[in-house]
Structure 1
Amino acid sequence: MIFDVNRCCRRAEVRELQGDTPLALGGEGLWVGVLSSGSCLLDCPGRQSSGGASGDLLLGRGGFTLRPLSVCHLLCVRLTGLAADAFLEGLPEPRFADSAACPGAAELLARVCSASDEPDAAEAAAPYTLLCAMAHADEEVRHLSPLVQRAVEAIRENYMALYGVEELSSQLGVSKCHLVRVFSSEMGMPPGKYLTSVRIEAAKLLLTEREYNLEMIAGLCGFSGANYLCRVFKRETGLSPAAWRETAAPHAAVEKLPMRNNEIYV
């Protein structure tokens, strides 16, 4: 055979992000995905985070985590082979790209993901077709501005003690209105809502540990008390903390987060 399409590019793994649970993507090869709804943050160790919004394309080598900023859906596939390796040589870091660079991405991705385990000739060629379509997608890069990047880092590192958006804007040296406008534009939500999502993420982590009661969890996550935690948690997830603990723990797919100065942070 002169041209072996499977050796050039093949489907290795399909993953799907649904709801608000973080998804870690690893393995050899190139991850290609489409964020069909919602928004999320791409966290890659040692590199600047990038935000993705509905319709954006995902490209990158494994070793990063997608953290939903709202309820979202993303379908992605890991491609391996010589062509995928060559593609990665020109892709220095995982990123979200504007879907305008590849208008047929969603349809091509769905075709690759739905292919049988023993594909026919057309299905076998679909991964390579998808890769070719993505050839210029990495030219449209979505980066967070320095202000929004600092705001995200400040929230994630100090969500327990952060009083609110006014205190955050003061720390960053900008007006509250300016911060809300820029943050909302880049992240798809205002900073106050993002702060709440980070606190809820931390509360879910603590709920998986039975020794923490609701009052303790509220204090560790920046809520004023257990009653307020319950109201916000129910509003954001549709479940009370107690119901979430019973249904999700200890099998909750919540990423274990590192420790920092004996404190839990997101």
Structure 2
Amino acid sequence: MIFDWNRCCAVAEVRELSGDSAVTLPGPGLWAGILSSGRCQAEGTGGYDAAGASGDLLLCGGAVTLSPIEDCHLLAVRLTGLAADAFAANLDRPRFADGALCPGAAELLARLCDAHPADTAEQSQRAYALLCELSHADEAIRRLSPLVAEAVAAIRDNYIGLYGVEELSRQLGVSKCHLVRTFSAEMGVSPGKYLTATRIEAAKLLLLEREYSLDMIAALCGFSSANYLCRVFRRETGQSPAAWRDSNAPGPSVRLPNRSNEIYL
């Protein structure tokens, strides 16, 4: 064998935290997870801890204990191998990072967890792709102002029923112009584009479930119709939803968390 992907990065374990019971994730390796709903606290060796909320990414080198602050759902994988060990070595404590910095991480995590325990070169390549995506999750990269942080949270929590930026600005008690200017300056995209991207990522995860029709996906992701979903999806990805599903679905269905208060990135 010329190159062994498993030595570089491999999925060693998949764990899920759901509800209000604490769970300990053992080491060694790198734990990477997505907190899709609720809030929880992560405690690592040495007494270091961090708190995360819906939409945050968990990163921890070695064992970590997760204690829900409220009912929550977290899906996590333990990665091993040379690349994963190098990543974990730079984590002196558990941390939750802004999931907006790594928009593809949730999808990669879902696909890795769904395919486990298949130990293939393809899975290891996906695990390495996840590491590359998580390299943007430095919590020091972006510190959001209270207004933008509130806007991001509102979009994540209400993307299904949110009509647009005007409604969002009214909810936040600011003018549309001020919200667009401030949000764009801090996030690099307008709130309207961020809302669309959030809906597209939600649609991608639902497309991995063969049982969902386009009409149902459109309704669950805040699009007015299946036709509108198709137009926006093609504009944003260059593919129709059906073509994207055929080229990305890994086989068996991806298990999705409860839709109550959840977030897709």
Residue equivalent to 1:164: 164
Distance 1:79 1:189 in 2: 33
Distance 1:182 1:223 in 2: 26
Distance 1:186 1:42 in 2: 23
SS in 1 for 2:143: coil
Residue equivalent to 1:245: 245
1:92 and 1:185, CA in 2 relative to 1: closer, same or farther beyond 3 A?
A: farther
Aligned residues: 176
1:49 and 1:149, CA in 2 relative to 1: closer, same or farther beyond 3 A?
A: farther
Q: CA deviation at 1:260?
A: 3.7
Q: CA deviation at 1:145?
A: 1.6
TM-superposition CA deviations, 1:158-208 (whole Å, max 9, x none): 111000011111111111111111111121111111100111111111112
Distance 2:211 2:143 in 1: 40
Return the index of the structure with the highest Cα Rg.
Answer: 1
How much is the aligned-residue C-alpha RMSD, in angstroms? Answer: 4.4
Residue equivalent to 1:224: 224
Alpha carbons 2:52, 2:96 under 8 Å: kept: no
Q: CA deviation at 1:256?
A: 5.4
Unaligned runs of at least 5 residues, structure 2: 1-6, 11-25, 41-50, 65-73, 76-81, 99-137
Unaligned runs of at least 5 residues, structure 1: 1-11, 16-25, 32-40, 52-59, 66-75, 97-137
Distance 1:180 1:255 in 2: 35
TM-superposition CA deviations, 1:137-173 (whole Å, max 9, x none): x896531222111111111111110000111111111
Alpha carbons 2:218, 2:224 under 8 Å: kept: yes
1:27 and 1:163, CA in 2 relative to 1: closer, same or farther beyond 3 A?
A: farther
Residue equivalent to 1:93: 95
Alpha carbons 1:13, 1:79 under 8 Å: kept: no
**Hey, which bits of structure 1, 4+ residues long, moved more than 4 A?**
12-15, 26-31, 41-45, 48-51, 62-65, 138-141, 254-257
Distance 2:139 2:158 in 1: 34
Alpha carbons 1:49, 1:144 under 8 Å: kept: no
TM-score (norm 1): 0.51
1:234 aligned onto 2:234: yes
Q: Report matched runs for 1:127-146 at 5 Å.
A: 141-146=141-146
Residue equivalent to 2:213: 213
TM-superposition CA deviations, 1:18-44 (whole Å, max 9, x none): xxxxxxxx975689xxxxxxxxx9999
Alpha carbons 2:157, 2:262 under 8 Å: kept: no
1:218 and 1:143, CA in 2 relative to 1: closer, same or farther beyond 3 A?
A: same
Alpha carbons 1:159, 1:221 under 8 Å: kept: yes
1:220 and 1:173, CA in 2 relative to 1: closer, same or farther beyond 3 A?
A: same
1:180 and 1:256, CA in 2 relative to 1: closer, same or farther beyond 3 A?
A: farther
Residue equivalent to 1:259: 258
Distance 2:28 2:205 in 1: 29
Residue equivalent to 1:47: 52
Q: Which has the higher contact order (CA 8 A, sep 6+)?
A: 2
1:147 and 1:256, CA in 2 relative to 1: closer, same or farther beyond 3 A?
A: farther
